[in-house]
Amino acid sequence: MPHGYSTGIENGYSVYLNYFDRMVQSLTSRGVEVFVYQFPWPEQRRDEPGFQEVLAYYDQLLEAHGGSNVHFLPTLRFWPTEFFVDPLHLNEAGAQRLSRELATELARHPDFQGLFSQKVASN
């Protein structure tokens, strides 16, 4: 594949999935709600053959390793290349945009809002 990513290679990354599982289990066992975002990719990747399938595959894999206290935030998947220093890393403008978008999505998320209403009600 021209983008260098493929499906079915999670065994090579099993240590990351193991740590993700352990982190989620540790947090949720303490009653912590976990919010996960999908980081953006440069928009030129959108049309690369097979890339959408790779993203969908790994999205499903991560979601399968989540749980009822794990929430995947909706994020815009492809951004203009002006927000990247390379095909994987955001530049300063990209990091600022990501921070704003994550803050907005968290503020809108009903489970995140519920955390604050529960805290206010208990005080």
Q: What is the pLDDT of residues 41-71, one digit of tens each?
A: 999 888 888 888 888 887 887 777 677 788 8
Evaluate if residue 121 carries a pLDDT over 90. Answer: no
Matching residue, tokens 């499906």: 7
Structure tokens at 22: 């352990």
Whole-model pTM above 0.75? no
What local confidence, expressed as pLDDT, does residue 65 receive? 67
Evaluate if residue 76 carries a pLDDT over 90. Answer: no
Domain ranges of the chain: 10-122
Residue ranges of E strands in the chain: 34-37, 41-42, 70-73, 78-79
Which residue from 60, 65, 64 is spatially nearest to 25, judged by alpha carbons? 65
Residue type, 36: V
Is 64 in a helix, a strand, or coil? helix
Q: Rounded to 10 degrees, what is the CA torsion of 79, 84, 88, 92?
A: -110
